[in-house]
Amino acid sequence: MLPALDHILAPLARLLVARGVVFQDFVERMKGHYVQAAAEQSAEQSDGKITDSRLSVMTGLQRRDIARLRAFEHKAPKPNPLTRLVALWQVHDDYSKDGKALPLPRTGEAPSFESLAREVRQDVHPRALLDTLFAAGTVRLCKDTVELVESAYVPLAGTEEQLDYLASNVGDHLAAATENVLAPHPRHFERAAHYTGLTAAQVETLHCKYEAGQMALLRDIAQEAEALKATNPSSATARFRAGGYYFATTDTGPDD
């Protein structure tokens, strides 16, 4: 199995080295994930009694490491309010028309950027959200009006916010793929098209076609999700993530 993981580990190693994460720190955190995964699997397969000895056998870690790592906590990335704000702007009836975000007054009663920001986060000043969107090139300011110029919020390159964005998307994608491998039948939709032998211009044409179709689909999904959410009680906790990616290179890869 290990050789099959090289295509996953190679870009991860590039990211870790680029961000200055030394190997020892990565290994220590990976130990925690190993113990957590073994504990979850052991609980599913046994009567619920999970011993350090059993976890040591399953992970190959020493018992003294197991005892220390039992307290490991998997920290999920923080949800980004700006992603929801941009999506809501394009689907909410008060802020959009025919799936297109309307220009909004910067402040004032709804519909305004201030009221939209308040719908997403009550504890963050709307100006802070606006400044971040402007810095990322997601919105344009025209006197006292705010216009959406990008259909999705993409954090600035190299920021911790961008790493959270990566972790959320790649983490859920890998979780879906892993469950598909481990379950008797695939539970999650996961498909991709991959071709070689194309020119750079042809690849760019396909890129534009894919991006336009993907954004249209995501807008439809977001609009329906917002409508459904409006009818739910506060006790509803189920979540989903639907997304897409497009990668192109001139290098040969596993699909060649």
**Could you state, in order of their start, the residue ranges of all structural domains in the chain?**
2-75, 81-148, 193-256
Residue 153's Cβ-count burial label (10 Å; 0-12, 13-18, 19+) is buried
Q: Which residues are registered as beta bridge partners of 100?
A: 97
Identify the segments of the chain with pLDDT beneath 50. none
Question: What is the per-residue pLDDT for 252?
Answer: 60
At 38 the pLDDT is 92
- Look-up: residue for tokens 């959270």? 164
Tell me how far CA of residue 130 lies from CA of 55, 165, 202, 242, in angstroms.
48, 18, 37, 26
Which regions of the chain does DSSP assign to beta strands (E)?
96-97, 100-101, 104-105, 139-142, 145-148
Q: Report the C-alpha gap between 161 and 83 in whole angstroms.
A: 11
State pTM to two decimals: 0.79
Quote the pLDDT of residue 25: 93
In angstroms, what CA-CA distances link 8 with 23, 54, 224? 16, 28, 33
Query: What pLDDT is attached to residue 13?
Result: 95
